Amino acid sequence: MNPTVDLVLSCRPLERIASEVAVVGFFADERPLREGAARADWRLCGGLSRRIEAGDLSGKSGEALLVGCGRALASPRLMLLGLGGRRGFDRARVRDEVRMAVDRCLALGCTRIALAPLGIASDDLPRHAAELIGGFHEAARTADRPISLSMPVPTSEIPGVTRAFDQARKALGAAGFQLRADEVERGDGGSGGSVAGSDPGPGRIVFP
């Protein structure tokens, strides 16, 4: 039986999600950096952009750079991944890039992962739910310990993403997935719980 995958849809931005490693991606033909990579670059005072400009990464698919974050992010390390060209970034590539990203984290011994949607806008996550769940599922088959994956999602998008991920899991028959959502952050930093507008309960949907 595959280890449990705890998938958290977090209303927190990537830099505020505590994990062992945060993961972002960028396209070879797209500048400036966008989405999760842009947020991480901002928190690192342009450090990622400088590494790219220096030629440490070109953005080609399969490239990866691991950097220390100090106190800039809640995660001590950040993995920057090349996603190849924006053109032709289809659903098959989404699945492959997600699988490879999680595989790399597991190879480092990291099982608590904060993963920005790779090459996907937050409002487009439901359309790519099958590829994301499929990539997570394929990577989890090589793991020997439970995995915690946290993905930053705007609060307004969480109910729709939750439904799409649930449907994708059922279609795939992926056992062992647990899906939960952080509630809206408060002044104390927020806590895990139910999503506003969703059914009341402990804030976790367990996929048997």
- CATH classification of the domain holding 198: 3.40.220.10
Is residue 184 very low, low, confident or very high in pLDDT (cuts 50, 70, 90)?
Answer: low
Query: How many other β-carbons are positioned within 10 Å of the β-carbon of residue 156?
Result: 12
64 residue type, one letter:
A
Is residue 191 very low, low, confident or very high in pLDDT (cuts 50, 70, 90)?
Answer: very low
Q: Is the pTM of this model over 0.75?
A: yes
* Torsion 166-35-40-105 (CA) sign: positive
Total domains in the chain come to 1
For 125-157, how does the pLDDT look when each residue is reduced to its tens digit (9 = 90+)? 999 999 999 999 999 888 888 999 999 999 999
Residue 177's domain comprises 5-206
